[in-house]
């Protein structure tokens, strides 16, 4: 139970999901005593590149700082890989593929992948703390979501490694060879697992680059690869900025490249690889609609909408950043939503009570601020709770815009922050039309009591994932990926494995 400090008497805030919140303006929050997570993240002062099974210094000798966005303190130095380092990583990967991994029976590969999953579970708390410190997300998310899901992806794909004859019924599958992968900063360890696990299960070797603001858990996972006895060169981790990423994507040894990040950079990569024989998968931006009908379970829907956009500070490509709410319930829904947002706790990401942590970087904070200012300028009505922001670090209040029209930038552009745009609709067709009226198509949410309506919506919504009466639910068995400018290819499930093999 939370401890109460002496404060003026206030109404207790319901933390119970789904219990109706009275439509009142609350006073101050109950004050909880701080409950910081104290596990040791076991950070090194300096992280080198992981190439050929060993940590080696970058040939340029250059390093950059990874900082904690919650307090702007330096956490560690990270190697900046140049083209020569990326080339060394690809050479190591090719050697490992030709001599060991590509020839190893699937049931033997499975043992390594299971071992990686178990070792990650053993060190789960340490990884969660490191992830929170490097990226700014609340500890309860890295502890309860990122790290367990990352382990689940390794477990799931380990289970496939000896069953690859069933991936494409009637056909035989073979690995592609060496694959190059670049990932973003919003789920650093989880995106790493999404990329590595299917590629490894299928027998490929890998060169991967984490995002420059969040490289630490990738390099900690490299320690696990060593402990698991993974043959040298099977996974190589090169750290750095966009130049390093471009070198990973364009290397001639890469049979396939996989990218998760902004649509803008995805397009640059696609243009640069046009005409080559590289296979490609892209997981890019999103501008998902959470659609709430008047027959929806309202309190659950409020909780789902809050989870959809404020989870991980809105640093989620499939974030429900647009709320489409049925006109008859719009006023009531917005009032409940604001009450819920008033009691979200923003602050130290390492505190177990924190709901909203730090924005990942100063750049991202600037981008969110610019887009939110445009929303105010273009005439939308802004709501932000009066929560206090920590004095140091990068923070942004949860923000709700109502009176938004489809032409506003905040309704069209990916904000990648804790900012929700609320629009209304009258008919099912209008909801579909508005939800699909975007360049993106990664995900959507539908809240209604009617199964038939869920089926209609999920058929007509042009989105890779449609959640019904829930949001942001993930499972390694369930394929994830986009329509339109949200990219192509799938991650997870049998479909995800097909993107890492050739049919022979």
- Residue positions annotated with a catalytic role: 283, 317
245 touches ligand NAI by CB under 6 A? yes
Q: By CB under 6 A, is residue 75 in contact with ligand NAI?
A: no
> Helix 124-135 to helix 188-202 angle, to the nearest 10 degrees?
120
Residue closer to ligand NAI, measured from CB, 232 or 487: 487
284 touching ligand NAI, by CB under 6 A: yes
242 DSSP 8-state letter:
H
235-237: strand order across its sheet: 54-56, 49-51, 235-237, 205-209, 178-182, 256-260, 279-283, 487-488
Nearest approach in angstroms of CB 432 to ligand NAI is 23
Which of the listed partners (ligand NAI, Mg ion, none) does 66 bind, with a CB threshold of 5 to 8 Å by partner kind? Mg ion
Choose which of 29, 41, 58, 66 interacts with Mg ion (CB under 5 A). 66
Q: Which residue, chain included where needed, has tokens 């939308």?
A: 380
Tokens matching residue 281: 């998968």
**Which one of Mg ion, ligand NAI, none interacts with residue 100, CB within 5 to 8 A by kind?**
none
Looking up tokens 């887009």, which residue turns up? 371
Nearer to ligand NAI, 285 or 320 (CB): 285
Helix (H, G, I), strand (E, B) or coil at 322: strand
Q: Which one, 194 or 500, has the nearer CB to ligand NAI?
A: 194
Q: Provide the angle, in degrees to the nearest 10, between the axes of the packed helices 147-160 and 106-122.
A: 160
What lies within 8 Å, CB to CB, of 70 at 6+ separation is 133, 136, 348, 349, 350, 357, 358, 390, 393, 394
CA-wise closest residue to 156 among 466, 497, 464, 488:
497
Number of residues lying near ligand NAI (CB under 6 A): 26
Contacts of 353 (CB under 8 A, 6+ apart): 2, 32, 35, 345
Q: Which of residues 77-106 bind ligand NAI (CB under 6 A)?
A: none
Min CB(61)–ligand NAI separation in Å? 20
Site for ligand NAI in 206-225 (CB under 6 A): 209, 211-212
380 binds ligand NAI (CB under 6 A): no
- Using CB under 6 A, which residues numbered 299 to 328 contact ligand NAI? 317
User: Which does residue 134 touch among ligand NAI, Mg ion, none (CB within 5 to 8 A, set by kind)?
Assistant: Mg ion
Whether the CB-CB separation of 21 and 14 falls below 8 Å is answered with: yes
Residue choice 133, 173, 208, 269 for contact with ligand NAI (CB under 6 A):
269
Closest CB to ligand NAI: residue number: 245
Judged by beta carbon, residue 187 or residue 447, the one nearer ligand NAI is 187
241: region left, alpha or beta (phi > 0 left; psi from -120 to 50 alpha): beta
Which member of 13, 186, 213, 354 binds Mg ion (CB under 5 A)?
213
How far from chain centre, in Å, is Cα 481? 12
If binding means CB under 5 A, how many residues of this protein chain bind Mg ion? 3
Using CB under 5 A, list all residues that contact Mg ion.
66, 134, 213
Using CB under 6 A, list all residues that contact ligand NAI.
182-186, 209, 211-212, 241-242, 245-246, 249, 260-262, 265, 268-269, 284-285, 317, 364, 367, 414, 416
């Amino acid at each position: 139970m939370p401890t109460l400090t002496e404060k003026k008497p206030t109404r207790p805030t319901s933390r119970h999901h789904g219990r109706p919140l009275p439509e009142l303006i609350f006073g101050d929050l109950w004050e909880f005593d701080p409950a910081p997570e104290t596990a040791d993240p076991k950070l090194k002062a300096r992280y080198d590149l992981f190439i050929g099974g060993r940590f080696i210094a970058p040939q340029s000798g250059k390093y950059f700082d990874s900082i904690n966005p919650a307090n702007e303190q330096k956490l560690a130095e990270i190697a900046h890989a140049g083209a020569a380092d990326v080339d060394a990583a690809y050479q190591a990967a090719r050697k490992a593929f030709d001599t060991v991994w590509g020839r190893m029976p699937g049931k033997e590969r499975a043992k390594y992948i299971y071992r990686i999953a178990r070792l990650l579970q053993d060190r789960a708390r340490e990884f969660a703390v490191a992830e929170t410190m490097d990226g700014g997300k609340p500890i309860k998310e890295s502890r309860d979501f990122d790290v367990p899901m990352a382990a689940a992806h390794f477990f799931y794909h380990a289970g496939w490694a000896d069953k690859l004859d069933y991936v494409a019924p009637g056909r035989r599958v073979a690995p592609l060879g060496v694959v190059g992968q670049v990932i973003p900063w919003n789920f650093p360890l989880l995106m790493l697992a999404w990329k590595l696990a299917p590629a490894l299960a299928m027998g490929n070797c890998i060169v991967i680059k984490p995002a420059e603001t969040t490289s630490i858990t990738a390099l900690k996972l490299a320690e696990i690869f060593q402990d698991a006895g993974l043959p040298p060169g099977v996974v190589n981790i090169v750290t750095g900025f966009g130049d390093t990423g471009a070198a990973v994507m364009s290397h001639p040894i890469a049979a396939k490249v996989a990218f998760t990040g902004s649509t803008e950079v995805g397009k640059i990569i696609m243009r640069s690889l046009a005409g080559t024989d590289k296979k490609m998968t892209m997981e890019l931006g999103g501008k998902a609609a959470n659609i709430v009908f008047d027959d929806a379970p309202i309190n659950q829907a409020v909780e789902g909408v809050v989870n959809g956009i404020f989870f991980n500070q809105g640093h989620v490509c499939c974030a429900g950043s647009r709320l489409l709410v049925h006109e008859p319930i719009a006023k009531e829904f917005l009032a409940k939503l604001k009450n819920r947002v008033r009691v979200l706790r923003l602050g130290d990401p390492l505190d177990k009570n924190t709901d909203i942590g730090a924005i990942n970087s100063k750049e991202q904070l600037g981008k969110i601020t610019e887009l939110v200012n445009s929303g105010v300028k273009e005439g939308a009505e802004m709501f932000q709770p009066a929560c206090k922001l920590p004095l140091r670090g990068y923070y942004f209040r949860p923000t709700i815009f109502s009176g938004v029209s489809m032409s506003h930038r905040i309704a069209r552009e990916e904000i990648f922050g804790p900012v929700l745009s609320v629009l209304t609709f009258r008919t099912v067709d209008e909801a579909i039309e508005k939800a699909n009226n975007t360049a993106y198509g990664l995900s959507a949410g539908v809240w209604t009591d009617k199964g038939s309506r869920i089926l209609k919506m999920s058929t007509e919504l042009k989105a890779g994932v449609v959640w019904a009466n829930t949001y942001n639910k993930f499972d390694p068995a369930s394929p994830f990926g986009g329509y339109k400018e949200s990219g192509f290819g799938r991650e997870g499930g049998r479909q995800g494995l097909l993107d890492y093999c050739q049919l022979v």
